[in-house]
Amino acid sequence: MCASVLNVQVIVRKMVKKKALLVGCNYPGQDNELVGCCNDARRLCTLLKTRFGFPGENIDVLVDDNPGTDQSTHANIRKYLEKLVGDVQSGDILVFSFSGHGKLLGRSNDNTGWNEAIFPNDLTNPLTDDDFRAIVNKIPAGVTFTFLSDSCCSGGLIDELKEQVGGAEGGKNSMQQIRRVYAGQRGLPLSMLIGQLNNSGLNFTVDESNFLTAIYEKHEGNASITVTSQQPIKAACKKDDVGILLSGCESWELSIDEHGDDPPNTAHGVFTKAIETVVCRSSKSPSNKEMTNAVRQLIQSDWDQTAPLLDDDGKEVKDGPQHPCLYCSDGNADKVFICDFV
């Protein structure tokens, strides 16, 4: 009897990687300390594991309310971001979240007209929309990179992404005179940043005219691309851009840091809580556009949250709900938010 040989074709199916970096900055002991940002990171960690099937070992959490762990500093955020976007290929799913202070660092020539920035725990060294554009441009096509930013002035934090959900009343000029914010907002007053820089050992006095130069002098090669370039940056999106930004508000708005009924245990960012609420109420994962619109509805109508802004004289110049936004390519707007539920 002749043995027949079967040519068996073995198809190896790549396991999709699900990885996340979740950052919370409460800035304990500093002026304008926040209360809900570290909780945001932990709540999102639970959500990613229970609803989206992220393995716990693939989730890094950086917070500054637990001295025994890696802190949410500029250097650590950069290091863990490189880890997040490294060793990935088409089909993999990445999530980055930041809860903490945000601010505009001046005009730019991009689609929002501003350089938006987030501030790690070591407040004098921000990360900007230009930095996140550079990070996203490293990611291979077919990977999903979702950035959730629960910070003030967070619209446009990935440079040159198209705004798919936005268009709140206000405008690019409405932030020109704003310097101070109510306690409980996640905006960093310029006076606080200048004070931090003046106490950092520089050999000159820092003011509104030279604070970007001061950041450069303090951090040099470790500073943001926006700071080190010393000139306007016009970053290019890749044709198959993988970046998806859900921001807690428009570029010129504030995000709310809510104390809750039993602080600090119940403290949270309103935007992060809204995402958690929509996910928990949904039987299947919504699209990015559906998620953004649902979160807007919760904050604006159901919860009636307001985020007032003040001018230099302490007078309100605007009082209304924060408006979460979606920035991504046309193709990603209707794709599922993060990934299907498990």
Evaluate if residue 242 carries a pLDDT over 90: yes
User: Which tens digits make up the pLDDT trace of 21-76?
Assistant: 999 999 999 988 999 999 999 999 999 999 999 999 999 999 999 998 999 999 99
- Select the highest-mean-pLDDT range: 102-116, 139-153, 301-315: 139-153
Question: Could you tell me the residue range of the domain that residue 277 belongs to?
Answer: 18-231+238-333
- Assign 186 a pLDDT band (cuts: 50, 70, 90): confident
Asked whether residue 52 is assigned to any structural domain, the reply reads: yes
- The helix/strand count (H/E) of the chain reads as 9, 14
Catalytic residues: 101, 152
Cα 262 to Cα 49, 266, 304, distances in angstroms: 25, 5, 20
Domain count, the chain: 1
Asked whether residue 341 is assigned to any structural domain, the reply reads: no
- CA count, 13 A, side-chain hemisphere, 53: 12
* pLDDT computed for residue 31 by the predictor: 85
Query: Quick one: which H or E segment has residue 114?
Result: strand 114-119
Asked whether residue 7 is assigned to any structural domain, the reply reads: no
* pLDDT computed for residue 110 by the predictor: 77
Q: Tell me the C-alpha distance between 186 and 189, whole Å.
A: 10
Residue % of the chain over a pLDDT of 90 = 65
Per mean pLDDT, which range of 79-88, 171-180, 231-240, 299-308 is the poorest?
171-180
Asked whether residue 168 is assigned to any structural domain, the reply reads: yes
* pLDDT computed for residue 238 by the predictor: 64
Is 34:24 a contact under the CB 8 Å cutoff? no
Asked whether residue 78 is assigned to any structural domain, the reply reads: yes
* pLDDT computed for residue 321 by the predictor: 67
Q: What's the distance, CA 132 to chain centroid?
A: 10
* pLDDT computed for residue 315 by the predictor: 42
CATH number where 45 lies: 3.40.50.1460
Question: Given the DSSP bridges, would you call strands 114-119 and 101-107 parallel, antiparallel or unpaired?
Answer: antiparallel
Evaluate if residue 174 carries a pLDDT over 60: no
* pLDDT computed for residue 71 by the predictor: 96
Largest interatomic CA distance in the chain: 98
* pLDDT computed for residue 237 by the predictor: 63
- In terms of Cβ atoms closer than 10 Å to its own Cβ (0-12, 13-18, 19+), residue 174 is middle
What value does the mean pLDDT of the chain take?
85
Asked whether residue 6 is assigned to any structural domain, the reply reads: no
- Select the highest-mean-pLDDT range: 8-17, 28-37, 160-169, 238-247: 28-37
- Assign 187 a pLDDT band (cuts: 50, 70, 90): confident
Helices 211-219 + 190-198 axis angle, to 10: 40
Asked whether residue 56 is assigned to any structural domain, the reply reads: yes
Tokens at residue 4, please? 């027949």
